[in-house]
Amino acid sequence: MDVVNIFLTSELGESLEDFVHDQRRFTFDRLGPEGPRRLVEGPMWAFVDWVMPELAGLEMCRRLRADARTVDAHVTMVLEEDDPEDRRRALRAGADDYVIGPLTRTAVLDRVLALQSRGVERQATRRFELGALTIDMAALQARWNEQPILLRPNEFRLLRFLAENPNRVLTREDLINGLGKREPPIDERTVDVWIGRLRRAIKAAGGGNPLRTVRSLGYVFDLG
Amino acid sequence: MDVVNIFLTSELGESLEDFVHDQRRFTFDRLGPEGPRRLVEGPMWAFVDWVMPELAGLEMCRRLRADARTVDAHVTMVLEEDDPEDRRRALRAGADDYVIGPLTRTAVLDRVLALQSRGVERQATRRFELGALTIDMAALQARWNEQPILLRPNEFRLLRFLAENPNRVLTREDLINGLGKREPPIDERTVDVWIGRLRRAIKAAGGGNPLRTVRSLGYVFDLG
DNA sequence: CAGGCGTGTGACGCGTTTGTGACTGCTTTT
DNA sequence: AAAAGCAGTCACAAACGCGTCACACGCCTG
């Protein structure tokens, strides 16, 4: 039996129990600022409120897109009212589509079933374009002039973080923290090895070297 | 309680009252051509419109960076549409990042909260523009008319210190202390070599000589 | 359980950076 | 005019920082 996992950032007025319908099992779960509480199999659907208690909805959306666990989720933004500007922003933040709230259980299911039956292809959403370099957060893929760069998970995270902070010297400590490495404490020299591997990967894809070493300080992603 | 000071170059459609959210006090203020109207404590965030009534946004951006009072501000440029050229120009002019407008109160708060919650300590971007010379403290890069000057760490520190104290004679001792050299005690004559190397580097980038020797006293960064 | 992959680390070697003494040439002083 | 003072420059050695390699460990897969 198929499973459909639905995550919401806020409580629904109505009940949230899992149930089975039409040969599919629907599960509901809360979605916190740190992302989904549990890992699931099967397609994920996330509904993000425009306003949230702890975190702006757009930021939540971006985080979902950045989180490797939810990269394949279909993200729907919940708008309070039909503002064209907000719609555009929502999509730009990585949402796949939007509904005009408030959210009811019926609205959620309508959405999911409609899209499922239509077999929507989730198009790539969150994308950086920095010169010749493109970073596709949804597909977890980086390209240099359309040429895919073969990156290991850590290298991808590193590139993403550098690209998010262009033209800014990042110390080795910044980079370690930026990749969320805590335990065990990482030796700063290890960052050199990361950079080396990342550079080699970009080069192997025919790319240049956007990563500048700043002696005795750190590294910069050079833009322009 | 933390204070977050937000400055804008144009009116927001929505209300602009100060308010408290999430343990932080947000204050809003207008940003005129002369810079911020008041001095504040705590982090500053400036949002500069691409088009402004009295002044081009880019010029405004440069002025903010040159203004000692706002040097520690995080400057966000507000673009009307997503033009890659404009983005690069904005960053060149000293902006830390940009948003695609128009600006709403929500967009502003998104930006501020998103950046505040990010891992990196965003040390304030300091950017000098002294005639043809530009010093980008974030990227640790100096340019002469857009032409990068290739500086070694010590030379960059020297240039920075000189540029921070323009039109003022700095003794060799000042310079040694200004660069934070303590151990072992540095021979004063060594400063001459530093200056020589710095001059050569600027020249190599097609630049002039803003460093004037004051016989038996020290050196000055000449402005104007 | 073997094999492959991703990743962190210590070690090695090389290029770069940098402080210094010496030499040179210009300027000021006597 | 000679002497003293001062700054510009060069060459060099030592120290430093970075790139890279090989290896070990953990994890997943077949």
Pairwise CA distance, residues B27 & B33, whole Å:
19
User: For the residues B132-138, what does the mean pLDDT come to?
Assistant: 84
Mean of all residue pLDDT scores within chain B: 75
CB contact under 8 A, A55 and B113: yes
Taking contacts as CB-CB distances below 8 angstroms, the residues of chain A near B74 are none
Secondary structure element (H or E) that encloses residue B99, with its range: strand B97-100
Pairwise CA distance, residues B74 & B77, whole Å:
10
Mean of all residue pLDDT scores within chain A: 71
Give the model's pLDDT for residue B139.
85
User: For the residues A210-216, what does the mean pLDDT come to?
Assistant: 92
CATH code of the domain covering residue B159: 1.10.10.10
Domain check: are B109 and B196 in the same one? no
| Range of weakest confidence among A70-74, A164-168, B135-139, B186-190 | A70-74
Give the model's pLDDT for residue A10.
67
| Range of weakest confidence among A109-118, A158-167, B23-32 | A109-118
Domain check: are A25 and A86 in the same one? yes
User: For the residues B9-23, what does the mean pLDDT come to?
Assistant: 64
Domain check: are B11 and B56 in the same one? yes
User: For the residues B48-69, what does the mean pLDDT come to?
Assistant: 64
CB contact under 8 A, B138 and A168: yes
Give the model's pLDDT for residue B210.
92
User: For the residues A178-193, what does the mean pLDDT come to?
Assistant: 83
Q: Is the pLDDT of residue A120 over 50?
A: no
Domain check: are A149 and A105 in the same one? no
Domain check: are A154 and A110 in the same one? no
Taking contacts as CB-CB distances below 8 angstroms, the residues of chain B near A175 are none
Which of B91, B104, B109 minimises the CB distance to A167? B91
Give the model's pLDDT for residue A156.
87
Identify which of A72, A90, A73 has the alpha carbon closest to the alpha carbon of residue A81.
A90
Q: Is the pLDDT of residue A219 over 90?
A: yes
* Domain stop point among A118, A142, A164: A118
Residues 6+ apart with CB under 8 A from A150: A201, A204, A205
Longest dimension (CA), chain A: 62
The strand pairing partners of A130, in sequence order, are A133
Secondary structure element (H or E) that encloses residue B111, with its range: helix B105-117
CB contact under 8 A, B120 and A165: yes
The strand pairing partners of B144, in sequence order, are B133, B147
**Contact between the CB of A216 and strand D at under 7 Å:** yes
Domain check: are A193 and A109 in the same one? no
| Range of weakest confidence among A46-60, A132-146, B150-164 | A46-60
Which of B22, B104, B153 minimises the CB distance to A85? B104
Residues from A contacting B (CB-CB < 8 Å) are 54-56, 58-59, 62, 85-86, 89, 92, 129, 165-170, 174, 177-178, 180, 214-217, 220, 222-224
For B193 and C9, how far is CA from C1' in angstroms? Answer: 39
Domain count for chain B, please give it. 2
Give the model's pLDDT for residue B156.
95
With CA of B216 and C1' of each nucleotide, the nearest comes out as: D6
Where does the pLDDT of residue B114 fall: very low under 50, low under 70, confident under 90, or very high at 90 and above?
Answer: low
Taking contacts as CB-CB distances below 8 angstroms, the residues of chain A near B139 are 167-169, 220, 222
Identify which of B35, B5, B52, B86 has the alpha carbon closest to the alpha carbon of residue B99.
B86
Give the model's pLDDT for residue B153.
92
CATH code of the domain covering residue A73: 3.40.50.2300
* Choice between A90 and B152, residue whose per-residue pLDDT is larger: B152
Pairwise CA distance, residues B14 & A204, whole Å:
50
- Cβ(A218)–Cβ(A165) below 8 Å: no
Domain check: are A7 and A111 in the same one? yes
* Choice between B182 and A94, residue whose per-residue pLDDT is larger: B182
Domain check: are A98 and A148 in the same one? no
User: For the residues B29-35, what does the mean pLDDT come to?
Assistant: 70
Q: Is the pLDDT of residue A49 over 80?
A: no
> Which pairs count as long-range contacts for B31-39, CB under 8 Å and 24+ apart, including other chains?
B31/B7, B31/B60, B33/B60, B33/B63, B35/B63, B35/B64, B35/B67, B35/B69, B35/B70, B36/B7, B36/B69, B36/B70, B39/B69
Pairwise CA distance, residues A63 & B78, whole Å:
22
**ipTM higher than the 0.95 cut:** no
Ranges A48-52, B72-76, B123-127, B194-198, most confident: B194-198
Give the model's pLDDT for residue B124.
46
Asked if the structure places residue B130 within a domain, the reply is: no
* Domain stop point among B90, B117, B144: B117
Which of A129, A168, A178 minimises the CB distance to B119? A178
Task: Name the token pair of B4.
Answer: 């977050």
Asked if the structure places residue B137 within a domain, the reply is: no
Asked if the structure places residue B209 within a domain, the reply is: yes
Asked if the structure places residue B127 within a domain, the reply is: no
DSSP conformation class of A104: -
Q: Is the pLDDT of residue A195 over 90?
A: yes
For A220 and C17, how far is CA from C1' in angstroms? Answer: 20
Q: In chain A, helix, strand, coil percent, each to 5?
A: 30, 30, 40
Where does the pLDDT of residue B122 fall: very low under 50, low under 70, confident under 90, or very high at 90 and above?
Answer: very low
**Contact between the CB of B197 and strand D at under 7 Å:** no
**Contact between the CB of A122 and strand D at under 7 Å:** no
Q: Which domain holds residue A49?
A: 2-118
Q: What is the DSSP pairing of strand A24-32 with strand A35-36?
A: antiparallel
Domain check: are B175 and B94 in the same one? no
Asked if the structure places residue B122 within a domain, the reply is: no
Domain check: are B11 and B111 in the same one? yes
Which stretches within chain A are classed as H helix? 57-66, 84-92, 105-118, 153-164, 172-178, 189-204
Q: Is the pLDDT of residue A121 over 80?
A: no
Give the model's pLDDT for residue A178.
79
Give the model's pLDDT for residue B172.
94
Give the model's pLDDT for residue B162.
92
Q: In chain B, helix, strand, coil percent, each to 5?
A: 30, 30, 40
* Domain stop point among A89, A118, A147: A118
Percent pLDDT > 90 in chain B is 24
Domain check: are B81 and B158 in the same one? no
Mutate to test the interface with A, among B12, B108, B110 (most CBs of A within 10 A): B110
Pairwise CA distance, residues A22 & B213, whole Å:
85
Asked if the structure places residue B161 within a domain, the reply is: yes
Where does the pLDDT of residue A54 fall: very low under 50, low under 70, confident under 90, or very high at 90 and above?
Answer: very low
Domain check: are A6 and A112 in the same one? yes
Percent pLDDT > 70 in chain B is 52
Identify which of A129, A180, A177, A174 has the alpha carbon closest to the alpha carbon of residue B138.
A174
Q: How far is A15 from chain B (nearest CA, A)?
A: 29
